[in-house]
Chain A
Amino acid sequence: MSRHYVLVGSGIAALAAAEAVRAADAAGRITLVSEEPHPFYSRPALAYLLTRELPERQLFIRSPQEVQALGIERLHARAERLLPASHELLLADGRRLGYDRLLLATGAASLAPGFPGAELEGVLRLDALDDARRLLERARRRRTAVVVGGGSTALELVEGLHARGMRVHYLLRGARYWPKVLDAEESQIVADRLTNAGVRLHPRTEVARALGRRGRLEAVETTAGERIECALLAVAVGVRPRLELARAAGLEVARGIVVTPELQASDADVFAAGDVAQLRDPRTGLAPLDTLWTSALAQGRAAGRTLAGLPTACAAALPLNVTRLAGVVTTIAGEVGGGEDADLLTLTRGQSERWRARSGTWTAAAGHGADRVRLVLDERRVVGAVVMGDQHLSQPIVELIRREVDLSPIRAQLAADAEAAIPRLFAFAAAELAPVLNPAPGGRGWPALLPSAAT
């Protein structure tokens, strides 16, 4: 008899799992349960919908024919209760789904703001396509928006609403933008570009309360005593894994659903992947949270295979994200951060706790204008990097981190002359990485991207 797989969620982890299950089990029955009313779409692409770089139809990552070929039954419903003992999922509409194996890929949800007036119509967050539609609807009618929060989602809101012709005020609780990940100079690059574009930054300022009439937002009163008339207040103060189902089912839950490297939860037939999962890192023993899209994809793929009876470990990959901050493409990889961030109560989307740098690291940075490279090094190697603007060095740097290239032969030189550290490092790296950079004829790679390899 064929297996019945039930997948809860419809983000990238759920899609990747569905495809992996189908690839491994042609006969299995796959049911996907989600409250999301739309077909599979790219969540990160919502930022580009806001900026007008993409029309909405382009967001959908599978055609109806592809979904049909995948052979999944999709139920638009809320999963209310999971009963692992009887292998059942109860839906809010009263249906009961039996399963052989079940995947929780319910993602993370934005935190509600805590200020008075947060319930007013016009106070919005950005989790899903319908949120983006609401934001755009308001952007069409109104002139002024206030954004609060941190990380990449807050900037997506700032940039998107600005691109839609709104006058945008960005309130920062702290002195600068995203101190958990960026250094002071990188934050300044972002702040300068926003200011030059006409965004008004309010550092060390919070929403004291949102003011409205008949349930509708009309203005924001700040802790600096300013009243900003606005009809849109967009909030991105962090996200939290959706844990209700797992918790009520008695599964082991920490800050996420705790899973093995094969994505198995504390019940033999229940698995979790994506933002909701908290993977144990076999190297460190910790279970850091991350909300990186690429992690969710890798976990979904591994979980799908495991569900189908091919246990597949999902190794903790180098935490890497590429995002655009005030128009500057920025690669963030490895251990780069560490500061406190008053704007974020939890992780933002597209962030990893593994970005936090250990003590005993040091930094080399070089840059010009919005092009900047910052490397974080320990005794022996590069452990993290932030590359802003010009990206032609970002792949080699990522390889340096990923391959743990030993820099000890030049460490003394690097430390002696910080100005020359980055060029010297790359001269060394080019030689070390030569076999990677210059693959066999016809092979793939990125030849000639390192300066010294350009001929």
Chain B
Amino acid sequence: MGVARDGAMLRNDKVLPRDAQRLRLLADGYVAPVAGRCVQCGICSYNCPLGIDVRAHSWRGLPIEERRCLSCGACVARCPRGALELVERRVAA
């Protein structure tokens, strides 16, 4: 995925809103477990480039709010059951 090449999408959300959203999430999002989907297989933890135990977070129903997490989305993408999602951090308006 070419982030630089696709940067224009940030200015034109209507064209590819989901891609634009993805870029925003990469910049300022966090990974959260989706209730009722995880079976603790551990593919998330195995694929985390920083060695964060994502599976343990999912067991407790806790989002990954560690400073180390890059929100790279590797765990989200690899999860075979859609049990993780990137969530946009909302700032009070």
Which residues of A are at the interface with B, using a C-beta cutoff of 8 A? 12, 42-45, 48, 53-55, 58-59, 61, 293-294, 317-318, 320, 322-324, 329, 331, 391-392, 394-395, 398, 441-449, 454-455
Q: A61-B55, A447-B87 are known contacts. Are A54 and B46 too (CB-CB below 8 A)?
A: yes
Report B-chain residues with C-beta under 8 Å of the C-beta of A449. 85
Checking B34, B39, B63, B80 against A329 with a beta-carbon cut-off of 8 angstroms, the contacting residue is B80
Q: Separation in Å of the B13 CB from the closest CB of chain A?
A: 7
Residue among B39, B45, B46, B91 with the most chain A CB within 10 A? B39
How far, in whole Å, are A12 and B18 apart by their CA atoms in the complex? 36
Number of B residues, CB within 8 Å of A: 31
Contact (A324, B80) CB under 8 Å given A294-B36, A442-B90, A446-B87: yes
Are A58 and B46 interface neighbours, CB within 8 A? yes
- When the two chains form their complex, are residues A323 and B81 in contact, meaning their CB atoms are under 8 A apart? yes
Taking a contact as CB atoms under 8 Å apart, the answer to whether B36 and A446 are in contact is: no
Which single residue of chain B is at the shortest CB-CB distance from A42? B40
* Complex Cα spacing A322 to B39, Å: 9
4 A-B pairs closest in CB distance: A45-B41, A322-B81, A44-B39, A441-B92
Given the known inter-chain contacts A58-B45, A58-B46, A441-B93, please indicate yes or no for A322 contacting B83, CB distance below 8 A: yes
Q: Is the CB of B82 within 8 A of A331?
A: yes
Q: Specify which of B18, B39, B43, B87 is in contact with A445 (CB 8 Å cutoff).
A: B87
CA distance A44 to B32 in the complex (A): 21
A53 to chain B, nearest CB (A): 6
Interface SS majority for chain A:
loop
* B88–A447 CB distance below 8 A: yes
**Interface-central residue, B37, B78, B91, by most chain A CB under 10 Å:** B37
A272 CB, min distance to chain B CBs, angstroms: 21
Q: List 19 A-B contacts (CB under 8 A).
A: A42-B42, A44-B39, A45-B42, A58-B42, A59-B41, A61-B40, A294-B39, A322-B81, A322-B82, A324-B80, A329-B80, A392-B18, A442-B90, A442-B91, A443-B90, A444-B63, A446-B85, A448-B21, A454-B13
- In the complex, whether B51 has a CB less than 8 A from a CB of chain A is no
Instruction: Given A331-B82, A392-B18, A442-B90, decide whether A322 and B37 contact each other with a Cβ distance below 8 A.
Output: yes
Which residues of chain B (34-93) have a CB below 8 Å from chain A?
34, 36-37, 39-43, 45-46, 55, 59, 63, 78, 80-83, 85, 87-93
**A42 lies within 8 A of B41 (CB):** yes
Taken together as a complex, chains A and B put the C-alpha atoms of A12 and B41 apart, in Å, by 12
Q: How far is the CB of A45 from chain B (nearest CB, A)?
A: 4
* Nearest-neighbor residue (CB-CB) of A333 within chain B: B36
